[in-house]
Amino acid sequence: MELIEDIDRIEGPFRNAVITIGNFDGVHKGHQSLFSQVKEKAKQINGTSIAMTFDPHPLKALGISGPPLITRRDQKMELIESCGIDVLLCIPFSKEFASITAHDFIEETLVNKMGMKAIIIGADYSFGKDRMGNIALLKEESNRLNFETIVSDWTNDSESRLERISSTRIREIIMEGKVDQAMKYLGRHYQIRGKVIKGRERGGSQLGFPTANIKLHDELCPKLGVYAVTVETIKGDFQGVANIGFSPTFGDEMFTIEVHILDFKHDIYNTRIRVNMVARLRDEKKFSNIKELSEQIDHDIDVAKDILTKNGHT
């Protein structure tokens, strides 16, 4: 995949460009379906499949408090690349960019600069200054500028077949702690990323369960509690149990994300790890003493191993 990080860096029109545009937060199954349609259309016309997205999120660029992102920039880039798109255009979003009229954006950027022959977007997509651009305008301009406008159907939850898969719904599910349900929408486990930092160094010495303490990179944090997880490290992939919360048994009320990586004896301080949230085990709880907490963690590990093994994470 070719990554272009500024419109001005486009050297010339792409061959028969088929374009989709959006924030693509989460790169969920709905986005994945859209990318598949773009690739199929590009194949039909011997063209180039292109996804256009923005950084930072348009709301934040305009000084508006937006929702926490499901996927930060680096993960979003990786996920879009894994979908097989030819070109990803990641545009720095600014007030100046937001001031471009919908007509100018279609004609000057999409058609003249990028060589657009088809655009595939969702029914509610809007763009341009004051968000005056919409499906009706694109269809109106299609005839004048010789491109095709294709409206993609929503992707619904495969089980209920009613609920539309959306970034908003996924965000709600994760904040409710229903990470197993989020997988049905994302097509993968929700993942948090972060750097392993020095913690309070009591996991191994006091509890008998050493933990990797994470300085969270992501904006979206699952509901407080204990989770069965898999962990991607520089030493390989492992099973684990994660605690997200305030360690009430110790009484210091400091928010932490601690991961006990099973069968792991490596030093990974100051390295980045990825934690895939497979299932929520329980709420965080205050125990009477360290012994009770240690016994509960031992039980959590057994439950997590069972869940992870059943999910194919050996």
Write down the domain spans for the chain: 2-152, 177-310
Q: CATH fold of 2-152, please?
A: Rossmann fold (3.40.50)
Can 2-152 and 177-310 be said to share one CATH topology? Answer: no
Query: In Å, what is the CA distance from 153 to each residue of 33, 118, 279?
Result: 9, 16, 30
| Structure confidence by residue, pLDDT tens digits, 41-89 | 999 999 999 999 998 887 777 778 788 999 999 999 999 999 999 999 9
CB 172 within 8 A of CB 141: no
pLDDT, average across residues 256-274: 93
* CA-based nearest residue to 173, from 158, 184, 160: 184
CA pair distance 8, 163, nearest whole angstrom: 39
Task: State pLDDT tens for residues 113-129.
Answer: 999 999 999 888 888 88
277 or 203, higher pLDDT:
277
The crossing angle, in degrees rounded to 10, of helices 179-186 and 167-175 is 160
| Cα 30 to Cα 156: distance, rounded to the nearest angstrom | 8
The C-alpha atoms of residue 187 and residue 27 are separated, in whole angstroms, by 9
What is the pTM (predicted TM-score) of this model?
Answer: 0.90
Q: What is the pLDDT of residue 158?
A: 60
Q: Is the pLDDT of residue 206 over 60?
A: no
**Amino acid at position 286, single letter:** K
Is pLDDT above 80 for 94? yes
pLDDT digits (tens, 9 = 90+) for 157-204: 665 554 789 999 999 999 999 999 999 999 999 999 999 998 665 544
Using DSSP's 3-state secondary structure scheme, residue 25 falls into coil
User: How high is the pLDDT of residue 238?
Assistant: 97
Q: Which fold has domain 177-310?
A: Elongation Factor Tu (Ef-tu); domain 3 (2.40.30)
d(CA 255, CA 267): 23
In sequence order, the 6+-apart residues with CB closer than 8 A to the CB of 36 are: 83
Average pLDDT of span 25-52: 97
